[in-house]
Structure 1
Amino acid sequence: MARLPCLTPADLDAEQRALYESITGGPRANGPFALTDEDGRLTGPFNAMLVAPAVGAALQGLGAAVRYETSLSARIRELAILATAARWDCEFERYAHEPAALAAGLTPGQLAAIRAGNVPDGLDPAELAALRFVHDLLRKGDVDDVTYTATVSTIGNRMVVELTALVGYYATLALQLRVFRVGSP
């Protein structure tokens, strides 16, 4: 059972309404899952953003940036998101991102390997370096010098910064989804 009230559009004040419109009118509107239910309430992590709109707006902005404005390929992005979902056992993130991963060309077998916390076969060198980096980050909360150097030499500093921010963002969402008891629809 969800711990936060599920806000309908009629429940929103001006600050919440502006955030609601930036979420539902932004690039996420064309995503792989419905952002709202039949009553217009935001699904997944987005309802919590409305409860604290200043923090929610910052999170929404960061999420849009790491999802739509990085140099990460769609496959690397989805590998990292799903590895984060596996680490935190986040049902909603799997629900939301497995279709995006399949659309990016990952296979059901590769998704099963990621769900199990493993590195799947069939990744290119950049994907492999990025996923090894993400696995270290998620398991240790840090990345050793060998992994860091190998990752930077393969994908560059910019992508490493973007990848670290992406993992941090999706870890934040996974924790909020867990604390507020939000599952998949």
Structure 2
Amino acid sequence: MTRPPVLDEAALNPEQKRVHDEILSGPRGIVEGPLRVWLMSPKLADRAQALGAFCRYDTKLPPRLSELAILVTGAFWKAGFEWAVHCPIALKAGVDPAVAEAIRTGAEPVFTAEDDAVVYAFARELHTTRQVTNATYDRAIAALGLETTVELVGVLGYYTLISMTINAFHVPLPEGAPDPFA
């Protein structure tokens, strides 16, 4: 069951329509998944989509690392829509398919690059323990720098919001996509 009812784009109020059209004309080019849920609250949708555009397209994290962080978050929350959308993007950005599969199944991935290992360790530790040890923090600062580490936390937080929305409102998988966490 999908919650809430499917968004009727023909019946959007003026504020919903403005935000909808802004999302549509931005870098995403599509209004799907949790963005459709957020349009039930146009102010939330407006602010969240702006943060999301920054987190996805404008941080100092290279796309490979950003997408790796998104995969860790989607797998932690078992947010099927998030995984189905972002796993192909992550693979295209250079995330090793074996790493993606290990993350999806809860196995320990093997990394060849230190920045990949750091992003995974930081994200996994923050999600599972709600903290980051001094050792992991220092490792992230050494590999990424302070500004990029701050932005990594922003990506993790934003995609946690995405994942929570997907799970709370039963956002369906994209058509034809298998459930990665069945």
Per the normalisation by structure 2, the TM-score is: 0.91
Report the counterpart of residue 39 of structure 1 in structure 2: none
Q: Distance in 2 between matches of 1:123 and 1:117?
A: 19
* Mean CA deviation greater in 83-92 or 112-121: 112-121
Letter in 2 for 1:157: L
The structure whose RCO (Cα within 8 Å, separation 6+) is larger is: 2
Post-superposition CA distance 1:128-180 (Å, at most 9, x none): 11111111111111101111011101110011110001001111111111110
Report the counterpart of residue 83 of structure 1 in structure 2: 72
Contact 1:45 1:177 in 2 (8 A): yes
| Runs of 4+ residues over 6 Å off in structure 1 | none
SS at match of 1:28: coil
Matching residue within 125, 133, 137 for 2:126: 137
Asked whether 1:22 is paired with 2:16, we answer no
Asked whether 1:106 is paired with 2:95, we answer yes
Q: Distance in 2 between matches of 1:51 and 1:9?
A: 11
Contact 1:23 1:60 in 2 (8 A): yes
SS at match of 2:39: helix
Q: Distance in 1 between matches of 2:124 and 2:39?
A: 31
Deviation at 1:112, TM superposition (A): 0.5
Q: Distance in 1 between matches of 2:107 and 2:132?
A: 17
SS at match of 1:27: coil
Deviation at 1:118, TM superposition (A): 4.1
Per the normalisation by structure 1, the TM-score is: 0.90
Letter in 1 for 2:26: G
Q: Distance in 2 between matches of 1:119 and 1:64?
A: 30
Post-superposition CA distance 1:16-59 (Å, at most 9, x none): 01110111110012xxxxx3xxxxxx421111111001011111
> Structure 1: which 5+ runs fail to align?
30-34, 36-41
RMSD: 1.2
Q: Distance in 2 between matches of 1:91 and 1:104?
A: 20
Q: Cα gap change, 1:140/1:122 in structure 2, threshold over 3 Å: closer, same or farther?
A: closer
Identity over aligned pairs, percent: 36
Matching residue within 34, 37, 61 for 1:48: 37
> Structure 2: which 5+ runs fail to align?
175-182
The equivalences for 1:143-158 within 5 A come to 143-158=132-147
Letter in 1 for 2:103: I
Contact 1:133 1:147 in 2 (8 A): yes
Q: Distance in 2 between matches of 1:182 and 1:174?
A: 10
Deviation at 1:9, TM superposition (A): 2.1
Contact 1:83 1:134 in 2 (8 A): yes
Report the counterpart of residue 97 of structure 1 in structure 2: 86
Q: Distance in 1 between matches of 2:107 and 2:55?
A: 23
Letter in 2 for 1:27: P
Report the counterpart of residue 10 of structure 2 in structure 1: 10
SS at match of 1:121: coil
